[in-house]
Structure 1
Amino acid sequence: MSNILVTGGAGFIGSNFVHYAVENTEHTVTVLDALTYAGNRASLAGLPEDRVRFVQGDITDAELVDRLTGEADAVVHYAAESHNDNSLHSPRPFLDTNIVGTYTLLEAARKHETRFHHISTDEVYGDLELDDPERFTEQTPYNPSSPYSSTKAGSDLLVRAWVRSFGVQATISNCSNNYGPYQHVEKFIPRQITNVIRGIRPKLYGAGENVRDWIHANDHSSAVLTILEKGRIGDTYLIGADGERNNKDVVELILEEMGQPRDAYDHVTDRAGHDLRYAIDSTKLRTELGWAPEFADFESGLAATIQWYRDNEAWWAPAKDTTEAFYASKGQ
């Protein structure tokens, strides 16, 4: 595979993948991104122009998608509406992008017989009890709880159907919560980091007991490349780095790393339908494909992420005030 079409490549996880692919492989990359509020052209700054081509456009644009897919050796589909809070406020864009957009890409991959990898989330499985010894596996039944997770579940099922019905050469990965550079300040970790930088007390939903399984975006990127190169067509692989932490612990780690008292945060109203716990079992990916995370230590990955936000205020500052005004209007 010499040319990879990356949808949503100016978003958080997509842009990290583009950087990782350029730095660690010989592939060229075409980025297709609509540059909605969550996409940022600046996230691709500094990448070599002879390796990365940027195209602004929507994945529901069938003519554009068909042309770009026909030029690619593989498609890695990151583009998605992805923030739970936004899906509760305005569900329709999630159907357009996550369902119709994925259908449009699958039809192009089907036509051109292009290798296709679909990026999904562990949120399609619903949540686990805090004291449940089990973790999500590839056999866990889907049980989505929000417009976001339900549309991602729907897109996963479309991919499975196109593999079985039309022979599309596709794989799927469901990943746990990502953190790292280039993440929008509406998200949990960068919101708290940038609050501290701005002298604002971090905000914690409810009691902060909700658990997420954190993985650095570089580790997600290396896993996707591994699946793209070695994965078995039609299979699903779960990506996780054994990084379970509850939200309270994460906020306190951020404060400690940034030289603040561990209790210098405020509790805010919990969001509706807030899932309790996500936890990924990535045994299949590790044993069958030989993948392992680089950032197995969450604390070191978090420290590197904090430093990136300290060093790149020009990247995140334009969205900060609008984001905080939105949360303030909801008492969060």
Structure 2
Amino acid sequence: MKLRAILILTIYAVAIAFISLWAAKQSYSWFPPEAAAESKLFDDLFSLFTGLGTFIYLGVMGPFVYSLIFHRAAKYDLSDAPPIEGNTWLEIIWTAVPLVLVLSLAFASYQTYEKMAVRGPMELVHLHMPKVVEAAYAEPFDDTPQKEIQNALQTAPVEHIDVTAKQWAWIFRYPEQNVTSTELHLPIDRRVKFTLHSDDVLHGFYIPAFRLKQDVVPNHDIDFELTPVRVGQYRLRDSMLSGTYFAANQADVVVQSQADYEQWLTDAATRTPAPAFNPAADEYARGQAQGRKTKDKTAVRGWATLPPAPPPIVNYSPQHEPTSPAT
């Protein structure tokens, strides 16, 4: 009987190990495309957590459900269960194993975020410490050897972009060309260094396809680095609740070849700066116009809000102000 129980548990452990491995591989498909080198590191870490979490969950719930079905007391059985004394070795094992597991996952997480060079507002508390940025190198998305990708990222020049967040707009400035834009353009396979500013409150610089989020703190400049590795168009979102129209505080992120990137910079530099269409400012203006008609001084739908900052003056903006709907 004891041998049979050990055999059943062994078979069950092997089965949930395969299920956990399958779940870990499936977790890669739950996210947007891996568009930055850092995203591969993040997805690998999440896959590890998913696989271990699945194994632990099934390892606990399987015996629990089995006991609930096959070892429950009879309907009118009110007697006490047989007295069972504690097992010292068993208690040591189920205390030591979770402890080692949690510490190992914490170490893996720390190593991953160190490679990604993610630094939140805590860096402002440690201003005496030097800022050391370690490049992140993800596994290749094709057959390119890992060493070649690492060498390319190490020798590639660094792009510098100033990012300003405000209620509610993103402004990107390319200081070398003195170009400003409400759309973020990035060259592929080149390390990009952002200097993040906030004109008013806390904002969150978050690009889901890059798996990176950085809080933008007022009155402080925060450096932030990443390496785009896939051409395409993605989305930047404000991940912090920064006020009424924060959901509209979004911008397109365009990753393009080096030639296309340089051509875009050249074309943008020739444009005369002009006010860009801003969804928050537009909605607020329409709400005020509607309020004046109805003698209501609040915004659309009746809630109070502070006025958005004026639309940004930039060289390039992909959006054009739409025709206002009839009111």
TM-score by length of 1: 0.28
Which of structures 1 and 2 has the bigger CA Rg?
2
TM-score by length of 2: 0.29
